[in-house]
Structure 1
Amino acid sequence: MQRFLRSLSRTFLAGSLASLPLVLTVVLLGWAVGLARSLVGPGSLIGRLLSGIGVQIVDVENPVVTYAVGIAILLIGVLLLGLVVQTSLRQTFTQLVDRTVRRIPLIGTLYDATNHFVGMFDRDNKADVRAMAPVWCFFGGEGNTAVLALMPNPKPIRLGEHDYLTVLVPTAPVPVGGGLLFVRADWVRPAEISVETLTSVYLSMGLTSPVSK
C-alpha cells in the first residue's frame, strides 16, 4: 500500500511539474489582459479619451463603437509615426522631443528611463550585440577561472604597463546587460562560438555547453 501511495504521489508530482509552466503562462496572460483592460479599457481614463476621439469622428453614442474608432485612430497614428521615424525625419523628431519632453523636470527623467528600457528591445541594439565578439576571459591568466563574455571593441587601451580589452560579462541575456570590465589583453582569447550560442548558455544557466563535443 505504501509503495502504491509513493508511486501515486510521484506521478502526481510529475504531472504537477509538467503542467506548472502552462498554468503560470495562463495566469500571467490573464494578469496582463486584466492590467491592459484597467489601463486602456473602455472604462479607464485612456479609454474614455479614445471614446471622446471616436465621438468626434462618428456621431454615434454607442460607447463600444466610439472606443473602437478611437483605437483605430490611435493605431493609424502609431503607424504614421513609424513611417516618420524610418525616414530622415527621425532625427528631427528626436530633436523635437529633446527640446520639449526631456526638459520637463520630472517627466523628462521618466521619459529617459522608459526610452532606455524600450531601446534595449530595438533591432538596431540587437544588431550591435551581434557585432560583439564572444571571448574567454581568464582572470589571473590562462589556466585559471574562465568567464564567457562579449567583446564590443577589439582595440586595446593602455593602462599602466599593460594593454586592456573592454569586455561585457552578461548578467541578463535578453536583453543583454551585465558588468563592463577592462581585462588584460593577454587574459582574453576568442571563443569559437556565435553570440546566439553564448546567449543560449546563459539562458540555460550552463546546461548548454559552449564547447562542442
Structure 2
Amino acid sequence: MKKYFVTGLLIWIPLVITFMVLAWIVGTLDQIVEWLPNGVHPRTILGFNLPGLGLVVSVLIVWLTGLVAANVIGQRLVAYWEALLARIPVVKSLYYGVKQVSDTLFSSNGQAFRKALLVQYPRQGSWTIAFLTGKPGGDAVRHLHGEYVSVYVPTTPNPTSGFFLMMPKADVIELDMSVDEALKYIISMGVVAPPARLSSQPAALHNE
C-alpha cells in the first residue's frame, strides 16, 4: 500500500501544483475584465463569467501595444509618455530602473541570463549554479583589477531571490546547459539534473 500511495502522490502532486499555478495566473488576469464598463462586460452580455477571458484580453493588449509602438507615431507616443514620467521624482527612478532591467533581459542582443555558469559560492570549494548578467559598471570598475563579470546566484527553490556578485572571469565556468535546464536544476534542489553531454568539457568563460 505504501508503494502504491507514493506512486499516486508522484502522479498527482505535479498535476495539482501545475493546475493551482495556472488557476492563480488566470484568476489574477481575470481581474482585468472587471475594469470593463457594465455595458460591454461579458457577465452582462452572456449572463455568466467567462474564465480565462482576462488572459486573452491581457495578451491582446500587450500585442496591440507592441503593434502601435512599432511605427513612428507609436514611438513618439512612447517618448512623450517617458518624458512625462521623467518629471515625477519617485516614479522616474522606479520606472527607469525597471525599464533598464527589462530591456537588458528581453533584448535579443543582450547577454543577460543567456548563459548558465558554475561558480564557487559561498566559499572556496563549494560550487553552485549562477547566470551571467553582464559586466560590472559604474565606479565599481575602478576598484576591480583585472577582468570581471557580473553574475546572479539564485536561491533554491525560489530562483526569483538571490545574490548579485562581481567575480573574476577566470573563476567562472560556462556550462553546456540551457538556462531552462539550469533553472529546473535549481528549483528541484538538484534532484532533476540536466542530461550529461559527453562532448562538453568545463572551461572558463570564453571571450566574446
Structure 2 partner of 1:149: 130
* Residue 127 of structure 1: how far off its partner (Å): 5.4
> What per-residue deviation string (whole Å, max 9, x for no partner) do you get for residues 52-76 of structure 1?
xx59xxxxxx9317xx9xx999998
Q: How has the CA–CA distance of structure 1 residues 84 and 177 changed in structure 2, closer, same or farther, with 3 Å as cutoff?
A: farther
The CA deviation string for residues 117-143 of structure 1, in whole angstroms up to 9 with x for no partner, is 9x75998347534674444334699x8
Task: Measure the CA separation in 2 of the matches of 1:136 and 1:73.
Answer: 41
CA contact 1:171–1:178 (8 Å) conserved in 2: yes
1:165 equivalent among 141, 144, 148: 148
Q: If each structure's strand is expressed as a fraction of its own residues, which one has the higher value?
A: 1
Question: Residue 182 in 1 paired to residue 175 in 2?
Answer: no
Kindly report which structure 2 residues correspond to 1:76-115, keeping only aligned pairs within 5 A, or say none: 80-89=64-73, 91-101=75-85, 103=87, 108=91, 112=95
Does the 8 Å contact 2:119/2:172 carry over to 1?
yes
Contact kept? 1:138, 1:145, Cα under 8 Å: yes
Aligned equivalents of 2:135 and 2:196: distance in 1? 22
State the TM-score, normalized to the length of structure 1.
Answer: 0.54
Alignment of 1:45-124 (within 5 A): 46-48=35-37, 51=39, 54=40, 63-64=44-45, 80-89=64-73, 91-101=75-85, 103=87, 108=91, 112=95, 116=98, 120=102, 124=106
Equivalent position of 1:12 in the other structure: 5
Q: Which amino acid is the alignment partner of residue 165 of structure 1?
A: Y
Moved more, 131-140 or 83-92: 131-140
**Matched length:** 185
The answer to whether the 8 Å contact 1:170/1:176 transfers is no
Q: 1:63 to 1:145 in 2, by over 3 A?
A: closer
> For residues 81 and 165 of structure 1, do their structure 2 counterparts lie closer, same or farther at Cα, with a shift above 3 Å needed?
same
Distance across 2 between alignment mates of 1:202 and 1:77: 33
Q: Secondary structure at the match of 1:128?
A: coil
CA RMSD of aligned residues (A): 5.1
Distance 1:197 1:184, change over 3 A: same
The alpha-carbon distance between structure 1 residues 130 and 18, as it changes in their structure 2 partners (threshold 3 A), is: same
Task: Using the aligned pairs only, state the percent identity.
Answer: 18
Q: Give the structure with the higher percent helix.
A: 1
Residues of 1 paired with 2:165 and 2:65: CA distance? 38
With a CA cutoff of 8 Å and minimum separation of 6, indicate the structure with the bigger relative contact order: 2
1:32/1:14 CA distance change after superposition, 3 Å:
same
- Provide TM-score, normalisation by structure 2: 0.55
Task: Supply the distance in 1 between the matched residues of 2:3 and 2:122 (Cα, whole angstroms).
Answer: 47
